[in-house]
Structure 1
Amino acid sequence: MSKWFCILLIACASAHAAPGAAPADDAVQVLNDKSLLNQIVELQHNVAEKAQSKLSAVGQNVSQTAYQVADSTAELVISSMGFLGLPYRRGGSSVETGFDCSGFVRAMYQETVGMLLPRRARDQAASTQVIDKKELKPGDLVFFNTMRRAFSHVGIYVGDGKFIHSPRSGSEVRVENMRESYWLKRFDGARRVAGTDAAATPPKNY
């Protein structure tokens, strides 16, 4: 794991944390999770590899486009980590107010990728590409049935079977494991936002 990445992640957490909020335990867990961090770092490594491949095949303009798409996905995942510990707020969609689940996803995509997704989780599911669970890559969306209705909760997949989300009232933005029984039972499908199929290596052992 590169030294610059650790510095970047810590800086993001400091920059985006809610005013007066205590450091999130999740930030420490993420920094200590080598398998997860290695996958995110792979995004950066694969950016250069894909760009070089495209450059050789069809020229510099397409190569630059490939670089920008892959780099945006990496930025999405890295930036979302900077909001760990931000309190949940029903209907919230900004760092000032806090986020609910779909508000968090929408804000991350708008701020880092420049794409404006629908506001509600079920509408986000309807407007994105269906993918198999085995095809999940960092930056994809994962949906859950947590309120006895389809697509009632959403998060952003970050790799290694984990996702980041704003769970519920009284909680805060955090990283959780999709392999835990609660999430396994409620998993409702995976989606990919058009134009964000970055040069990421498919998750291992999932």
Structure 2
Amino acid sequence: MKGKKQPDDRRNNMKRFCLVAAILLIFSAYAHADVTYKIKKGDTLSGVSKKFNVSAKEIRSLNNLKKSSKLKIGHTLIVKKAGPKTYTVKKGESINRIAKKFNIDAKELKDINLLDSDSLKPGQKLLLEAEPEIETAKINLEKEIENISESEEIAQMNAKDRVILFAKKFINIPYKFGGNSIMGIDCSAYVQRVYSLIGITIPRSARLQFKEGKIVDRDSLSIGDLVFFRTYASFPSHVGIYLGNDLFIHSSSKGKKVSIDSLKTPYYFKRFIGGKRFIIDNAEIEITKQLQEG
């Protein structure tokens, strides 16, 4: 039995090897192929450029089109030219030099690779374009936030419900120190962005945010309040948004993404320094008026 089984195993292993090799070859060919799009009825050059996040000028250049050229239904356009997806840093190279070499904006190159500084090491691998799934997620999230912001139904919600709705839309967005975009965002930029979506303007840094708003102690925290911590510095250096039940949402350098944590977690419990309130509900406004009149 063993003598018969071994050749079968070898044949099966060979089949699996050939299948994997074929898949890798197909994937390799696909990964380095031009990105194309077949024109449909009603398509415009500006519409196609927005769909693929490429300028209309670049599409015209890739397809030798003039400004006066009309799109023909069924015609296939090249929307992105195949090129290297990654680059290995050589000794003495800088972000600006590499960006210029591949005709990429230096800031965009840093954002794609979630870099906090311009310093690079020889042998370090850089992405030259965002992974398709990340780019798609970014575009979808931006569209979703835009649609929600313009919704009349959402506009009827109270500010606390809206701030939590928007805050949770950013869950799993990568953390990036100094970052201020969906490709990577830090704690203070995150709460600033969320608050801006409900029409409240607050400073950019946690340190300055802590200087504004109404002081709130731990026992009086309400949904939507900002919660502050001393982490790497003696001043307020981390901030999140209170969700109720001792939970808060923040862009976490520890978790490397926007996530929900508990104020009771020893790390945050020891470092909590207070809350600040920027969202004043109608009941609180009425009480304030009564106190002023009294």
In the superposition, the TM-score normalised over structure 1's length comes to 0.59
Q: Which amino acid aligns with 1:176?
A: D
Deviation at 1:90, TM superposition (A): 1.5
How large is the Cα RMSD of the aligned pairs? 2.6
Q: State the distance in 2 between where 1:139 and 1:130 align.
A: 13
Q: State the distance in 1 between where 2:209 and 2:216 align.
A: 14
Q: State the distance in 2 between where 1:88 and 1:146 align.
A: 16
Q: State the distance in 2 between where 1:87 and 1:153 align.
A: 16
Determine the structure 2 residue equivalent to 1:80. Answer: 167
Is the 2:249–2:258 Cα contact (8 Å) retained in structure 1? yes
Q: State the distance in 2 between where 1:160 and 1:78 align.
A: 17
Deviation at 1:148, TM superposition (A): 2.9
- Residue of structure 2 aligned with 1:154, choices 221, 239, 242: 239
Secondary structure of the 2:257 match is coil
Is the 1:142–1:154 Cα contact (8 Å) retained in structure 2? yes
- Residue of structure 2 aligned with 1:168, choices 242, 250, 253: 253
Deviation at 1:199, TM superposition (A): 6.4
- Asked if 1:145 corresponds to 2:230, the answer is yes
Determine the structure 1 residue equivalent to 2:281. Answer: 197
Secondary structure of the 1:154 match is strand
- Residue of structure 1 aligned with 2:269, choices 177, 184, 206: 184
Secondary structure of the 1:188 match is strand
Q: Which structure ranks higher in relative contact order (CA pairs < 8 Å, sequence separation ≥ 6)?
A: 1
In the superposition, the TM-score normalised over structure 2's length comes to 0.42
> Gaps spanning 5+ residues in structure 2: where?
1-130, 135-154, 285-294
Change (3 A) 1:169 1:175: closer
Determine the structure 2 residue equivalent to 1:109. Answer: 195
Q: Which amino acid aligns with 2:133?
A: G
Deviation at 1:91, TM superposition (A): 1.4
Change (3 A) 1:19 1:77: farther
Query: How many residues get paired?
Result: 135
Change (3 A) 1:170 1:140: closer
Is the 1:87–1:170 Cα contact (8 Å) retained in structure 2? no
Task: State the percentage of identical aligned residues.
Answer: 37
Secondary structure of the 2:189 match is helix
* CA deviation vs aligned residue, 1:170-205 (integer Å, no higher than 9, x gap): 700000000011111101111101x433669xxxxx
Q: How does 1:85-104 map to 2 (within 5 A)?
A: 85-95=172-182, 97-104=183-190
Q: State the distance in 1 between where 2:269 and 2:167 align.
A: 23
> Gaps spanning 5+ residues in structure 1: where?
1-17, 22-67, 201-206
Is the 1:70–1:197 Cα contact (8 Å) retained in structure 2? no
Q: State the distance in 2 between where 1:187 and 1:130 align.
A: 13
Determine the structure 2 residue equivalent to 1:135. Answer: 220
Greater Rg over alpha carbons, structure: 2
Deviation at 1:92, TM superposition (A): 1.6
Deviation at 1:169, TM superposition (A): 6.9
Deviation at 1:150, TM superposition (A): 2.1
